[in-house]
């Protein structure tokens, strides 16, 4: 029997602010983006002929997007900004790295991998668009 891998993908969108504390240009300032992520899952087809039902993929990813939507993403090392946003009672998500597109793609991929993915899934990828024409992509084989 020949084995093959199938890929499915779904797009998610949200609004979020951040800053790059280390940046020498404008991105050191507080700013936001209309983010877009394409989540891809690869694996063998299950008994129903699917890698995963798109409904199930949405159920896995939407809570992550809801957490990020209209929040400010902060690097844990950016304590000055984190404390200020807490005083303002703002919606904050704190991560353990700078808030680059690359690190956001990795963050989302790792969060998806922490969920109860079906056993037939062999790879998870997140392509994160920070602007209409700029993206970072992170993939991990399970």
Q: Which residues are annotated as catalytic?
A: 27, 70, 130
Residue with tokens 């597109």, as numbered in its chain: 101
Residue-by-residue DSSP string for 15-80: EEEE--TT-SSGGGS-EEEEEEEEEEEEE---TTS-SS-HHHHHHHHHHHHHHHTTEEEEETT-HH
Distance CA 74, CA 7 (A): 32
| Helices 101-113 and 54-68, packing angle to 10 deg | 130
Q: How far is CA 100 from CA 54, 89, 103, 115, 126, in A?
A: 28, 24, 5, 23, 14
């Amino acid at each position: 029997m020949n084995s093959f891998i199938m890929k499915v993908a779904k797009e998610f969108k949200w609004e979020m602010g951040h800053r790059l504390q280390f940046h020498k240009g404008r991105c050191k300032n507080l700013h936001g983006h209309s983010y877009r992520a394409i989540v891809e899952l690869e694996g063998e087809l299950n008994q129903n002929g699917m890698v995963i039902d798109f409904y199930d993929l949405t159920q896995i990813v939407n809570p992550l997007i809801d957490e990020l939507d209209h929040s400010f993403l902060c690097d844990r090392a950016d304590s000055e900004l984190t404390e200020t946003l807490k005083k303002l009672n703002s919606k904050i998500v704190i991560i353990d790295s700078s808030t680059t597109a690359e690190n956001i793609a990795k963050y989302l991929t790792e969060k998806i991998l922490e969920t109860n993915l079906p056993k037939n899934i062999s790879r998870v990828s997140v392509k994160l668009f920070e602007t209409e024409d700029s993206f970072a992509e992170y993939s991990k084989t399970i």
